[in-house]
C-alpha cells in the first residue's frame, strides 16, 4: 500500500491535459517535478526481468510498496549492446536474461505489461546502459514511455568499447527523438548516469563534472526535463559536500531547465550480508534527504550475488523510505574541501574546448581533461588515479592532465597490485559487513527501524 498519495494535484502542476491523450496520464517529469517542489523523496528500484509477467509483478509490487515510488524497466545486456539476435535466441530457449528486452518484444507486449500499472501517479523509466541507444529509444517511445537514462559519456565508457565520437552522435540523435515527444504534449525526461563512472573509485568532482556536462548536452539537444546523478561513495561527509555542490552548480548552469538530483545507493562491490546491504542503502537515503535530493535508486541485499527478487527489491525500497523519513535536511553546508571548485574547473575547461558540447566532450577525453581512473575504454587517457585515504575519503592520487592540478594535492598511493585494488574495491563492503552499530544489530530490526 502506498503510504502517501502525493500526486493528486498533478494537473495543476503539469497543466497538460494533452499528455493524457498520448499515455495514461502524468509523465515521469510531472511526478518528479511535483515531488521536487514538495521536497519529497521518491525511491526507485533497478529492476528488470525478461519474463513480462514477472516484470509486471515487479512493477506492481514497486507501486504497492510502502514508500513513494516510481517504476523501472532495466534492460538486459544483449539489448544494451544491440545484439537483438542473441536476445531473441535466449527468449526462444527460455533462458533468463539480466533485464527486460524491450526491443525484441512487440510493442503490444510491453503495453500490456504496463497496462493498469503505469498511471498518473506511477510513471515508469527505462534504464539501459547503451552507447548506441537508437533502437531502445524507438521502442520505449513506441510503448508510450517518456523517461529514460544515460548520456554520451556515462553510457559509453563503463558500458562499451564504442568510440566516444560515435556515442556522442548516437546520443544527439536519441535526444532529438525523445525531445520530439513535446510535439505530442508530453514532456520527456532524461537522467544523466554521469554520477556513477564505473560505480566506484571515481572522485566526486569528476562525477559532478560529467553529470553536469551531460545535462548541458541534453539541454542543448532539446531536452528540458533532466536529472543529474551522484552515486554514494566512501565517506558520508564528503558525499554531502559533493551533492550540495552538484545542486549549486546545476542551479548556476541549468537555471532555465527543470532538473532534480538523483542519488544512487552505492554502485561498487556491495556488502554481502543482509544487514550490511540494508544499512548501506539506508545511508544512501539519509544522504539524499540531508542534501535535498529528490530521488534515490536503491540496491538490494542480493546485489553482491545475483539478480534480486521482487521481494528483495521491495524490502530495499521500504528500508530506504523509512530511513529517509527519519532524516532531516542539513541546516547548513559542511565545511568546504574544494569539491565544488574542482568540479567547476573541470566543467569550465571542457566547455572552453569547443562551442559544440559534443565535440568538446570528445576532445576533453582525447587530451585528458576528463579521465576516469581505472577505466579500460580505449578513448580514456588512463593517466588519472584515485585512492581511499586513511580517513576513508576518495581522493586523487594522480591527476594526469585533468585541469585541476593547481586545486588539489595529489595523495600518496602505493604501486597498484591485485591485492591493493581488491582492498580498495572492498572498502565499503567490508565496513558495512563488519559494522556492529547498535541500531543495525539485526536485519529484521533494520527493516523495521531504519
Q: Phi, psi (5° rounding) for residue 265?
A: -55, 150
Query: Which span sits near ligand B12 by CB under 6 A: 20-28, 76-84, 381-389, 430-438?
Result: 76-84
82 part of the interface to ligand B12, by CB under 6 A:
no
Q: Footprint of ligand B12 on residues 213-232 (CB under 6 A)? A: none
Contact 202, 402 (CB under 8 A): no
User: Within 221-333, where are the H helices?
Assistant: 236-253, 274-290, 310-325
268 part of the interface to ligand B12, by CB under 6 A:
yes
Q: Compute the least distance from the CB of residue 291 to another protein, in Å.
A: 27
Q: Which does 270 bind (CB under 5 to 8 A by kind): ligand B12, another protein, none?
A: ligand B12
Q: Footprint of ligand B12 on residues 83-102 (CB under 6 A)? A: 98-99
Residue of 360, 363, 362, 384 whose CA lies nearest to 372: 384
Question: Which residue of 158, 203, 204, 373 would you call a contact of ligand B12, by CB under 6 A?
Answer: 158
309 part of the interface to ligand B12, by CB under 6 A:
no
Q: What is the largest CA-CA distance in the chain?
A: 61
304 part of the interface to ligand B12, by CB under 6 A:
yes
Q: At what angle do helices 236-253 and 204-220 cross, to 10 degrees?
A: 30
Q: Which does 151 bind (CB under 5 to 8 A by kind): another protein, ligand B12, none?
A: none
Question: Which residue of 24, 52, 163, 199 would you call a contact of ligand B12, by CB under 6 A?
Answer: 199
Q: Compute the least distance from the CB of residue 386 to another protein, in Å.
A: 12
Contact 405, 244 (CB under 8 A): no
Q: Given 3-state DSSP classes, what are the helix, strand and coil percentages for the chain, each rounded to the nearest 5?
A: 45, 10, 45
**For residues 264 and 147, what is the distance between their CA atoms, to the nearest angstrom?**
17
**For residues 153 and 168, what is the distance between their CA atoms, to the nearest angstrom?**
8
Residues that bind another protein (CB under 8 A): 76-78, 80-81, 83, 86, 90, 93, 95-98, 129, 158-161, 163, 198-200, 269, 305-307, 373-382, 416-418, 421-422, 425
Contact 334, 241 (CB under 8 A): yes
Strand duo 258-264 + 71-74: pairing: unpaired
Smaller CB separation from another protein, 76 or 191 = 76
Smaller CB separation from another protein, 17 or 96 = 96
Which residues would be at the binding site for ligand B12 (CB under 6 A)?
46, 48, 74, 77, 80-81, 98-99, 129, 158-159, 196, 198-199, 267-270, 302-304, 306-307, 422, 425
Amino acid at each position: 500500500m502506498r503510504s502517501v498519495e502525493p500526486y493528486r494535484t498533478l494537473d495543476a502542476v503539469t497543466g497538460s491535459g494533452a499528455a493524457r491523450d498520448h499515455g495514461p496520464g502524468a509523465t515521469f517529469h510531472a511526478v518528479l517535478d511535483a515531488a521536487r517542489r514538495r521536497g519529497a523523496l521518491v525511491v526507485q528500484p533497478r529492476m528488470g526481468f525478461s519474463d513480462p509477467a514477472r516484470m509486471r509483478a515487479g512493477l506492481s509490487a514497486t507501486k504497492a510498496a510502502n514508500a513513494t515510488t516510481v517504476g523501472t524497466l532495466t534492460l538486459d545486456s544483449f539489448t544494451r549492446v544491440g545484439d537483438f539476435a542473441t536476445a531473441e535466441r535466449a527468449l526462444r530457449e527460455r533462458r533468463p536474461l539480466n533485464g527486460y528486452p524491450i526491443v525484441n518484444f512487440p510493442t503490444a507486449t510491453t503495453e500490456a505489461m504496463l497496462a493498469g500499472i503505469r498511471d498518473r501517479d506511477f510513471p515508469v523509466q527505462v534504464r539501459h546502459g547503451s552507447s548506441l541507444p537508437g533502437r531502445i529509444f524507438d521502442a520505449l517511445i513506441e510503448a508510450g514511455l517518456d523517461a529514460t537514462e544515460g548520456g554520451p559519456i556515462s553510457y559509453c565508457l563503463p558500458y562499451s568499447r564504442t568510440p566516444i565520437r560515435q556515442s556522442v552522435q548516437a546520443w544527439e540523435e536519441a535526444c532529438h527523438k525523445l525531445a520530439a515527444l513535446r510535439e505530442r504534449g508530453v514532456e520527456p525526461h532524461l537522467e544523466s548516469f554521469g554520477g556513477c563512472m564505473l560505480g566506484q573509485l571515481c572522485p566526486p568532482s569528476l562525477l559532478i563534472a560529467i553529470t553536469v556536462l551531460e545535462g548541458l548536452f541534453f539541454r542543448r539537444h532539446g531536452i528540458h526535463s533532466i536529472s543529474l546523478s551522484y552515486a554514494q561513495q566512501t565517506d558520508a561527509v564528503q558525499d554531502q559536500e559533493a551533492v550540495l555542490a552538484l545542486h549549486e552548480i546545476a542551479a548556476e548552469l541549468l537555471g532555465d531547465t527543470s532538473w532534480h538530483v538523483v542519488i544512487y545507493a552505492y554502485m561498487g562491490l556491495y556488502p554481502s550480508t543482509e544487514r550490511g546491504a540494508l544499512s548501506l542503502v539506508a545511508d544512501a537515503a539519509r544522504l539524499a534527504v540531508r542534501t535535498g535530493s529528490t530521488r534515490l535508486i536503491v540496491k538490494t541485499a542480493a546485489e553482491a550475488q545475483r539478480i534480486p527478487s521482487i521481494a528483495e527489491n521491495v524490502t530495499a525500497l521500504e528500508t530506504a523510505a523509512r530511513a529517509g523519513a527519519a532524516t532531516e535536511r542539513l541546516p547548513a553546508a559542511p565545511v568546504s574541501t574544494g569539491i565544488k571548485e574542482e568540479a567547476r574547473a573541470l566543467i569550465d575547461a571542457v566547455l572552453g574546448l569547443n562551442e559544440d558540447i559534443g565535440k568538446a566532450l570528445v576532445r576533453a577525453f582525447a587530451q585528458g581533461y576528463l579521465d576516469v581512473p581505472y577505466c579500460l575504454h580505449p578513448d580514456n587517457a588512463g593517466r588519472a588515479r584515485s585512492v581511499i585515504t586513511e580517513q576513508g575519503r576518495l581522493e586523487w592520487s594522480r591527476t594526469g592532465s585533468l585541469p585541476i592540478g593547481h586545486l588539489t594535492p595529489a595523495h600518496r598511493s602505493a604501486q597498484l597490485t591485485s591485492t591493493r585494488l581488491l582492498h580498495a574495491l572492498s572498502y565499503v563492503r567490508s565496513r558495512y559487513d563488519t559494522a556492529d552499530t547498535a541500531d543495525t544489530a539485526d536485519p529484521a530490526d533494520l527493516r523495521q527501524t531504519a
